Protein backbone atom coordinates (compact mmCIF):
# COMPACT_ATOMS: atom_id res chain seq x y z
CA UNK A 1 0.00 0.00 0.00
CA UNK A 2 1.41 3.40 -0.94
CA UNK A 3 1.85 6.22 1.55
CA UNK A 4 -0.55 8.28 -0.50
CA UNK A 5 -3.45 5.92 0.25
CA UNK A 6 -2.79 6.18 3.98
CA UNK A 7 -3.17 9.95 4.15
CA UNK A 8 -6.74 11.26 3.87
CA UNK A 9 -7.31 14.15 1.51
CA UNK A 10 -8.61 17.27 3.27
CA UNK A 11 -10.69 19.47 1.04
CA UNK A 12 -10.56 23.16 1.95
CA UNK A 13 -13.88 24.70 1.01
CA UNK A 14 -13.92 28.17 -0.49
CA UNK A 15 -16.76 29.03 1.89
CA UNK A 16 -14.42 28.49 4.84
CA UNK A 17 -11.73 30.65 3.24
CA UNK A 18 -14.23 33.43 2.65
CA UNK A 19 -15.55 33.29 6.21
CA UNK A 20 -12.01 33.18 7.64
CA UNK A 21 -10.98 36.27 5.66
CA UNK A 22 -14.16 38.07 6.72
CA UNK A 23 -13.52 37.27 10.39
CA UNK A 24 -9.88 38.35 10.18
CA UNK A 25 -11.01 41.65 8.68
CA UNK A 26 -13.45 42.33 11.52
CA UNK A 27 -11.57 44.63 13.90
CA UNK A 28 -14.26 44.40 16.60
CA UNK A 29 -14.14 40.60 16.53
CA UNK A 30 -10.34 40.59 16.74
CA UNK A 31 -10.43 43.04 19.63
CA UNK A 32 -13.02 40.94 21.52
CA UNK A 33 -10.87 37.83 21.17
CA UNK A 34 -7.64 39.62 22.04
CA UNK A 35 -9.08 41.18 25.20
CA UNK A 36 -10.57 37.91 26.44
CA UNK A 37 -7.56 35.75 25.59
CA UNK A 38 -5.08 38.15 27.19
CA UNK A 39 -7.12 37.96 30.40
CA UNK A 40 -7.26 34.15 30.29
CA UNK A 41 -3.55 33.75 29.63
CA UNK A 42 -2.65 36.16 32.43
CA UNK A 43 -4.81 34.22 34.90
CA UNK A 44 -3.37 30.90 33.77
CA UNK A 45 0.21 32.15 34.16
CA UNK A 46 -0.59 33.36 37.69
CA UNK A 47 -2.23 30.03 38.57
CA UNK A 48 0.94 28.16 37.51
CA UNK A 49 3.48 30.62 38.89
CA UNK A 50 5.58 27.70 40.15
CA UNK A 51 6.91 26.09 36.96
CA UNK A 52 8.24 23.04 38.82
CA UNK A 53 4.84 22.34 40.39
CA UNK A 54 3.18 22.73 36.99
CA UNK A 55 5.49 20.17 35.40
CA UNK A 56 5.05 17.74 38.30
CA UNK A 57 1.28 18.01 37.94
CA UNK A 58 1.47 17.53 34.19
CA UNK A 59 3.64 14.44 34.62
CA UNK A 60 1.26 13.02 37.23
CA UNK A 61 -1.77 13.81 35.10
CA UNK A 62 -0.17 12.15 32.09
CA UNK A 63 0.58 9.02 34.15
CA UNK A 64 -3.02 8.85 35.43
CA UNK A 65 -4.40 9.17 31.91
CA UNK A 66 -1.95 6.63 30.50
CA UNK A 67 -2.85 4.12 33.23
CA UNK A 68 -6.57 4.56 32.56
CA UNK A 69 -6.07 4.09 28.82
CA UNK A 70 -4.00 0.94 29.39
CA UNK A 71 -6.92 -0.53 31.36
CA UNK A 72 -9.72 1.09 29.37
CA UNK A 73 -11.81 -1.98 28.44
CA UNK A 74 -11.78 -3.25 32.04
CA UNK A 75 -12.46 0.20 33.49
CA UNK A 76 -15.41 0.75 31.15
CA UNK A 77 -16.95 -2.55 32.26
CA UNK A 78 -16.29 -1.69 35.91
CA UNK A 79 -17.85 1.75 35.41
CA UNK A 80 -20.97 0.21 33.86
CA UNK A 81 -21.31 -2.36 36.67
CA UNK A 82 -21.00 0.24 39.42
CA UNK A 83 -23.25 2.79 37.73
CA UNK A 84 -25.88 0.09 37.16
CA UNK A 85 -25.58 -0.98 40.80
CA UNK A 86 -26.12 2.67 41.77
CA UNK A 87 -29.29 2.86 39.68
CA UNK A 88 -27.90 4.63 36.60
CA UNK A 89 -28.97 3.30 33.19
CA UNK A 90 -25.94 2.95 30.90
CA UNK A 91 -26.24 3.11 27.11
CA UNK A 92 -23.48 2.52 24.54
CA UNK A 93 -23.24 4.26 21.17
CA UNK A 94 -20.63 3.70 18.45
CA UNK A 95 -21.69 6.67 16.31
CA UNK A 96 -23.16 10.15 16.70
CA UNK A 97 -26.34 8.90 15.06
CA UNK A 98 -26.69 6.12 17.63
CA UNK A 99 -26.04 8.52 20.51
CA UNK A 100 -28.69 10.98 19.29
CA UNK A 101 -31.17 8.16 18.74
CA UNK A 102 -30.62 6.92 22.30
CA UNK A 103 -31.23 10.40 23.69
CA UNK A 104 -34.36 10.70 21.54
CA UNK A 105 -35.65 7.33 22.74
CA UNK A 106 -35.38 8.51 26.37
CA UNK A 107 -37.07 11.81 25.46
CA UNK A 108 -39.91 9.98 23.70
CA UNK A 109 -40.33 7.47 26.53
CA UNK A 110 -41.08 10.40 28.83
CA UNK A 111 -43.10 12.32 26.22
CA UNK A 112 -40.74 15.22 26.87
CA UNK A 113 -40.98 18.48 24.97
CA UNK A 114 -38.46 20.62 26.84
CA UNK A 115 -34.82 19.76 27.51
CA UNK A 116 -32.42 22.01 29.44
CA UNK A 117 -28.71 21.47 28.87
CA UNK A 118 -25.62 22.15 30.94
CA UNK A 119 -22.32 22.73 29.21
CA UNK A 120 -21.32 19.72 27.11
CA UNK A 121 -18.86 19.72 24.24
CA UNK A 122 -19.87 16.16 23.36
CA UNK A 123 -23.50 17.20 22.85
CA UNK A 124 -22.23 20.14 20.78
CA UNK A 125 -20.28 17.76 18.55
CA UNK A 126 -23.39 15.57 18.33
CA UNK A 127 -25.42 18.63 17.24
CA UNK A 128 -28.00 17.43 19.73
CA UNK A 129 -29.86 20.75 19.83
CA UNK A 130 -30.59 20.70 16.11
CA UNK A 131 -31.37 16.98 16.15
CA UNK A 132 -34.00 17.39 18.87
CA UNK A 133 -35.36 20.66 17.47
CA UNK A 134 -36.04 18.91 14.15
CA UNK A 135 -38.24 16.52 16.17
CA UNK A 136 -40.18 19.30 17.93
CA UNK A 137 -38.20 19.11 21.18
CA UNK A 138 -36.80 22.37 22.58
CA UNK A 139 -33.20 21.92 23.77
CA UNK A 140 -32.09 25.06 25.60
CA UNK A 141 -28.52 25.83 26.66
CA UNK A 142 -28.18 26.99 30.28
CA UNK A 143 -24.49 27.92 30.36
CA UNK A 144 -24.58 31.71 29.94
CA UNK A 145 -22.10 31.78 27.07
CA UNK A 146 -23.78 28.86 25.31
CA UNK A 147 -27.18 30.51 25.85
CA UNK A 148 -25.93 33.72 24.22
CA UNK A 149 -24.59 32.01 21.09
CA UNK A 150 -27.69 29.80 20.83
CA UNK A 151 -29.90 32.89 21.05
CA UNK A 152 -27.95 34.42 18.16
CA UNK A 153 -27.97 31.14 16.14
CA UNK A 154 -24.18 30.82 16.30
CA UNK A 155 -21.67 28.14 17.24
CA UNK A 156 -19.40 28.42 20.31
CA UNK A 157 -16.12 30.13 19.52
CA UNK A 158 -14.16 28.77 22.50
CA UNK A 159 -14.33 25.52 24.47
CA UNK A 160 -14.82 27.18 27.87
CA UNK A 161 -15.90 30.70 26.85
CA UNK A 162 -18.40 30.11 24.05
CA UNK A 163 -19.33 33.77 23.59
CA UNK A 164 -15.78 35.10 23.81
CA UNK A 165 -16.25 36.80 20.43
CA UNK A 166 -18.99 39.12 21.76
CA UNK A 167 -18.62 42.14 24.00
CA UNK A 168 -21.16 43.57 26.46
CA UNK A 169 -22.57 46.04 23.92
CA UNK A 170 -23.30 43.23 21.47
CA UNK A 171 -24.86 41.01 24.15
CA UNK A 172 -26.97 43.92 25.40
CA UNK A 173 -28.28 44.51 21.88
CA UNK A 174 -28.95 40.79 21.42
CA UNK A 175 -30.94 40.54 24.68
CA UNK A 176 -32.89 43.69 23.77
CA UNK A 177 -33.77 42.33 20.31
CA UNK A 178 -34.47 38.71 21.27
CA UNK A 179 -35.83 38.95 24.82
CA UNK A 180 -37.58 42.32 24.62
CA UNK A 181 -35.77 43.78 27.65
CA UNK A 182 -34.39 47.28 28.08
CA UNK A 183 -30.94 47.70 26.55
CA UNK A 184 -28.00 47.64 28.94
CA UNK A 185 -24.31 46.95 28.59
CA UNK A 186 -23.86 46.42 32.33
CA UNK A 187 -22.44 42.89 32.62
CA UNK A 188 -24.03 42.13 36.01
CA UNK A 189 -27.46 43.21 34.74
CA UNK A 190 -27.05 41.13 31.59
CA UNK A 191 -26.19 38.06 33.68
CA UNK A 192 -29.28 38.62 35.85
CA UNK A 193 -31.49 38.93 32.76
CA UNK A 194 -30.18 35.64 31.44
CA UNK A 195 -30.54 33.92 34.79
CA UNK A 196 -34.14 35.09 35.17
CA UNK A 197 -35.09 33.53 31.82
CA UNK A 198 -33.19 30.30 32.49
CA UNK A 199 -34.38 29.77 36.06
CA UNK A 200 -37.96 29.35 34.90
CA UNK A 201 -36.80 26.90 32.23
CA UNK A 202 -35.12 24.67 34.82
CA UNK A 203 -38.47 24.04 36.47
CA UNK A 204 -40.37 23.63 33.19
CA UNK A 205 -37.91 21.17 31.62
CA UNK A 206 -38.82 17.50 31.42
CA UNK A 207 -35.20 16.38 31.03
CA UNK A 208 -31.80 17.80 31.98
CA UNK A 209 -28.70 17.01 29.91
CA UNK A 210 -25.08 17.36 31.00
CA UNK A 211 -21.60 16.41 29.97
CA UNK A 212 -19.08 14.55 32.14
CA UNK A 213 -15.63 15.78 33.15
CA UNK A 214 -14.55 12.50 34.77
CA UNK A 215 -16.28 9.11 35.06
CA UNK A 216 -14.92 7.22 38.09
CA UNK A 217 -14.93 3.46 37.50
CA UNK A 218 -14.28 2.36 41.09
CA UNK A 219 -17.34 4.11 42.55
CA UNK A 220 -19.61 4.58 39.52
CA UNK A 221 -19.49 8.36 39.88
CA UNK A 222 -19.96 11.07 37.25
CA UNK A 223 -17.99 14.19 38.13
CA UNK A 224 -18.84 17.61 36.67
CA UNK A 225 -17.20 20.97 37.31
CA UNK A 226 -18.80 24.37 36.70
CA UNK A 227 -18.98 27.92 38.01
CA UNK A 228 -22.52 29.11 37.35
CA UNK A 229 -24.64 26.50 39.14
CA UNK A 230 -26.55 25.75 35.95
CA UNK A 231 -24.99 22.29 35.75
CA UNK A 232 -26.25 21.41 39.20
CA UNK A 233 -29.71 22.74 38.32
CA UNK A 234 -29.79 20.66 35.10
CA UNK A 235 -28.82 17.49 36.94
CA UNK A 236 -31.10 17.86 39.97
CA UNK A 237 -34.28 19.80 39.08
CA UNK A 238 -35.73 17.98 36.02
CA UNK A 239 -37.10 14.49 36.76
CA UNK A 240 -34.70 12.86 34.28
CA UNK A 241 -30.96 13.46 33.85
CA UNK A 242 -29.08 12.32 30.75
CA UNK A 243 -25.27 12.57 30.83
CA UNK A 244 -23.33 12.18 27.58
CA UNK A 245 -19.60 11.49 27.37
CA UNK A 246 -16.82 9.96 25.37
CA UNK A 247 -15.09 6.85 26.73
CA UNK A 248 -11.83 8.79 27.28
CA UNK A 249 -13.27 10.50 30.37
CA UNK A 250 -13.03 7.38 32.51
CA UNK A 251 -10.52 7.30 35.40
CA UNK A 252 -9.75 4.47 37.81
CA UNK A 253 -10.62 5.98 41.20
CA UNK A 254 -11.52 9.18 43.03
CA UNK A 255 -7.88 9.82 44.02
CA UNK A 256 -7.07 10.24 40.35
CA UNK A 257 -9.49 13.14 40.01
CA UNK A 258 -7.65 15.37 42.52
CA UNK A 259 -4.57 16.28 40.41
CA UNK A 260 -6.65 16.19 37.21
CA UNK A 261 -9.09 18.71 38.70
CA UNK A 262 -6.21 20.98 39.67
CA UNK A 263 -4.81 20.81 36.15
CA UNK A 264 -8.21 21.31 34.55
CA UNK A 265 -9.39 24.34 36.49
CA UNK A 266 -6.06 26.15 36.55
CA UNK A 267 -5.34 25.51 32.87
CA UNK A 268 -8.84 26.39 31.70
CA UNK A 269 -9.72 29.36 33.89
CA UNK A 270 -6.69 30.22 35.97
CA UNK A 271 -8.50 29.44 39.22
CA UNK A 272 -7.61 26.85 41.92
CA UNK A 273 -11.04 25.17 41.79
CA UNK A 274 -14.44 25.79 40.27
CA UNK A 275 -17.38 27.04 42.33
CA UNK A 276 -19.18 23.72 41.95
CA UNK A 277 -17.74 20.20 41.84
CA UNK A 278 -20.67 17.85 41.35
CA UNK A 279 -20.40 14.11 42.02
CA UNK A 280 -23.37 12.10 40.77
CA UNK A 281 -23.64 8.44 41.68
CA UNK A 282 -27.31 7.69 41.03
CA UNK A 283 -30.89 8.96 40.96
CA UNK A 284 -32.73 10.32 43.96
CA UNK A 285 -33.11 7.82 46.80
CA UNK A 286 -36.22 7.40 48.92
CA UNK A 287 -34.83 9.46 51.81
CA UNK A 288 -33.45 12.30 49.66
CA UNK A 289 -35.23 15.60 49.08
CA UNK A 290 -33.99 16.43 45.61
CA UNK A 291 -32.43 14.95 42.51
CA UNK A 292 -33.78 13.26 39.38
CA UNK A 293 -35.89 10.14 39.43
CA UNK A 294 -33.84 8.67 36.58
CA UNK A 295 -30.21 9.05 35.53
CA UNK A 296 -28.91 7.85 32.16
CA UNK A 297 -25.35 7.78 30.83
CA UNK A 298 -24.80 7.68 27.08
Residue 207 maps to a domain: yes
% of the chain beyond a pLDDT of 90: 80
The pLDDT value recorded for residue 11 is 57
Q: Is residue 78 part of a domain?
A: yes
Whether 186 is in a domain gets the answer: no
Closest alpha carbon to 76 in 249, 256, 295, 283: 249
Q: Is residue 151 part of a domain?
A: no
In a domain, 6, yes or no: no
pLDDT digits (tens, 9 = 90+) for 195-213: 999 988 999 999 999 999 9
Question: Minimum mean pLDDT among 64-68, 70-74, 130-134, 153-157: which range?
Answer: 153-157
| pLDDT surpasses 80 at 5 | no
Domain total in the chain: 1
Question: Is 283 contained in some domain?
Answer: yes
20 assigned to some structural domain: yes
Contact at 8 Å (CB) between 273 and 265? yes
Residue 290: pLDDT band (50, 70, 90) is confident
Q: Note whether residue 265 is domain-resident.
A: yes
Domain enclosing residue 248, as ranges: 13-140+203-297
Query: Above 70 in pLDDT, residue 86?
Result: yes
pLDDT score, position 27:
93
What digits encode the pLDDT tens for the residues 13-68? 678 888 888 989 999 999 998 998 899 899 999 999 999 999 999 999 999 999 99
What CATH number does the domain containing 221 carry?
3.40.50.10420
**159-181 mean pLDDT:** 93
Full 3-state SS string of 79-146: HHHHHHHCCCEECCCCCHHHHHHHHHHHHHHCCCCEEEECCCHHHHHHCHHHHHHCCCCEEEECCHHH
pLDDT in tens, 252-288: 999 999 999 999 999 998 999 899 999 999 999 989 8
Amino acid sequence: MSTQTLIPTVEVHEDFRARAHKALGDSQLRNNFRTAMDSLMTKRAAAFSDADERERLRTLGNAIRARALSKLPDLLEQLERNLTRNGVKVHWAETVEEANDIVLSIVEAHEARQVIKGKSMVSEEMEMNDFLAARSVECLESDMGEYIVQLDHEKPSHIIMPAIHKNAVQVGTLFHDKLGVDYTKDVDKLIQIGRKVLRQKFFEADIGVSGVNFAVAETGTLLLVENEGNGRMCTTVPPVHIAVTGIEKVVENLRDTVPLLSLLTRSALGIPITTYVNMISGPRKADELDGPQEVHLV
